[in-house]
Amino acid sequence: MIFNSLDFFIFFPTVVILYFCLPHKFRIYLLLTASYLFYMWWNPLFIILIIISTLTDYFIAKNIYISKKKNIRNILLISSILVNLLILFSFKYADFFIKNINWGLNIWGTHQKIPYLKLILPVGISFYTFQTMSYTIDVFRRKIKPERNIAKFALYVSFFPQLVAGPIERAERLLPQLEKKQSLDFERISYGLKLMLWGFFQKVVIADNLMGIVNIVFANPNSYKGLSIVVASVFFAFQIYCDFAGYTNIAIGAANVLGIKLMKNFKQPYLATSINDFWKRWHISLSSWFRDYVYISLGGNRVSLFKWVIIIFITFIVSGFWHGAEWTFIIWGTIHGFIYLLEKVLKKIVKKQTSLYKITRKNKAILGLRILTTFSVVVFAFIFFRAENFSYAMALIKNMFTFDIKLNFDNKTLLINSLLILIVMIVHFIERKVDIVKYISEKHVIVRFSVYYIIILLIIGLGNWNLTEFIYFQF
C-alpha cells in the first residue's frame, strides 16, 4: 500500500494545514512536493517514470500548439503517445507478450525461450499515463491551450488524491482549479471529510469483509459448486465496487477538502438497465476516456456498420486489456462488447413488442427484470476478471452450473456480508435522487450524528485492518 492508515492520517492533515497556512503562490509547490512524496513512499525510483511522462508531454504539447505544419504536429503527437505507451508496455505488458511468444515457439517445436523482464508494476501507471496522454491529444485537437507553468502541469499529472487509482481527470477540468485561490470553507471541508469516512467504510468494512469468502472460493474453484460459486461471484461484484468506489470517495473527499473537485466515477452501477447503461455508471472517467480517445478517434458512429462493430469490439477489448495483462481480462472486455452489440440488435425487437402490448419502459416489472439481467451479465463476466487464470475461470463456470444449493460458508459471516450488501443497495437507491452525504447532512442533528458514530464504530469493530491494497492499485 502507498500509505498504511496511520501514515495517511498523519500525512493528509499535515498537507491540509500547511496548504491553508501558506501564501497562494506557494501552494502548487507544496501539493507537488506532497504528491511526489506520496508516490515515493511506495518506491522512490518509480517517480522517475512520472517525471519522464510529465516532461515528455509538457514540451511536446507546447511544440504541437505552436507548430503550423500538420506533419510535424502528427509526428509530435505520435511521439508523445509512443513514449507513454512504451513505459506502460514495458512494465505492464512485456512479460504477457513474452509468455505468449514462448508458448507459440513451444508449439512450433522451438525450445529457445525469450527471458522474462520480471519488472515490478508501478502503482497507478495506467492512470497517470492515460491522464497525461489525454492532455497532449486535447492540445493537438485545439481543445485546450498548453500549460506554461511546468510545476502546475507536473501537479496535474501527479495530484496525490487521485494519482494511483483515479478518477482519470482531464486537463480542462483540473488545471484551472490548481491555480484558483482557495479559502477555508468549513462546509466544503466537512463534506470532504464525511465523503472520506464513507469511502473508508466501503473499503475496510464492506469490501474487505466480502473478500474473505471471495478469496477462498476463487482460489479453490473445484472445491465449490452451484449456489456457493454464485454467492461468491455476487460478493466479488460488490467487493470490487466498494473497494474501488471507496478509494474514489476518499480521493474526491480529500481533494474537496483542498477546494478541488474531481469528477464523479460511479453512479449506482448495479441499477444499470443495460451494459451500455452500466458503462455510463461504472468507472466513468475510464469509459469516457475510451469513448473520446479510442472510439471517436477510430471513427465512432460515422463509419459503416461493419467498421462500427469492429470499433466497438476494439474499444471493449482494449478496455479489458487496460485492466490487466492476462487473457481473462481480454475475455471480460469481449463479453461486455458482445452483450453491448446484442443489446443494440435486440433493442428494435423489444421496442416493437413493448409497443404492441402497450408496456412502457417505466413499467416496474420490466425495469426490475432489465436491472436483474444486466447485473447477472456483469457478475458472470466478473468471473473472468477475478479468476487467477482461464482454467480457473472455466472451472468456476462449469461448477457454477452444477445443481447444488448447499452453502459451505460460516452462517455468521454470510449474514454479515449480506447485510453489508443490503447497505450498498439502500445507498444506491437513495443516491438516485440525492448525494448520500448531503442526504444525511440534512437530517436532524441526532439522526446524522448517530449515523456518523455508527459508521465509526462499524469501522473499528468490523473493519479489516490487515492493510490490504485497493484492488485497482494493480492496474
DSSP 471: G
pLDDT tens figures, 232-253 = 999 999 999 999 999 999 999 9
Residue 36 has a pLDDT of: 95
C-alpha cell at 114: 525469450
Q: Are 108 and 145 in contact (CB under 8 A)?
A: no
Residue 205 has a pLDDT of: 94
Average of pLDDT values for 428-445? 90
pLDDT tens figures, 275-287 = 999 999 999 999 9
Average of pLDDT values for 126-154? 95
Average of pLDDT values for 45-63? 96
Q: Which of 323, 336, 428, 444 is catalytic?
A: 323
- Spatial CB neighbours of 465, under 8 Å, sequence gap ≥ 6: 5, 204
Greater model confidence, 113 or 5:
113
State how far the Cα of 191 lies from the Cα of 424, in Å rounded to an integer.
20
Average of pLDDT values for 121-133? 93
Cis peptide before 122 (omega within 30 of 0): no
Residue 356 has a pLDDT of: 59
**Would you place residue 358 in the very low, low, confident or very high pLDDT band (cuts 50, 70, 90)?**
low
b/e per residue 408-418 (b: at least 16 CB within 10 A)? ebeeeeeebbe
- Spatial CB neighbours of 382, under 8 Å, sequence gap ≥ 6: 233, 236, 237, 240, 332
Residue 2 has a pLDDT of: 55
Residue 41 has a pLDDT of: 86
State how far the Cα of 48 lies from the Cα of 374, in Å rounded to an integer.
42
Of 383, 451, 429, 382, the residue nearest 267 (C-alpha): 429
State how far the Cα of 65 lies from the Cα of 75, in Å rounded to an integer.
13
Average of pLDDT values for 357-364? 66
Residue 105 has a pLDDT of: 84
Active site residue 111: no
Of 273, 214, 167, the residue nearest 468 (C-alpha): 214
pLDDT beyond 60 at 28: yes
The pTM assigned to this predicted structure is: 0.92
Of 312, 282, 321, 314, the residue nearest 428 (C-alpha): 282
DSSP 68-137: --HHHHHHHHHHHHHHHHHHHIIIIIHHHHHHHHHHHHHHTT----PPP------TTHHHHHHHHHHHHH
- pLDDT, mean over the chain: 91
Q: At what angle do helices 70-88 and 125-140 cross, to 10 degrees?
A: 180
**Would you place residue 474 in the very low, low, confident or very high pLDDT band (cuts 50, 70, 90)?**
confident
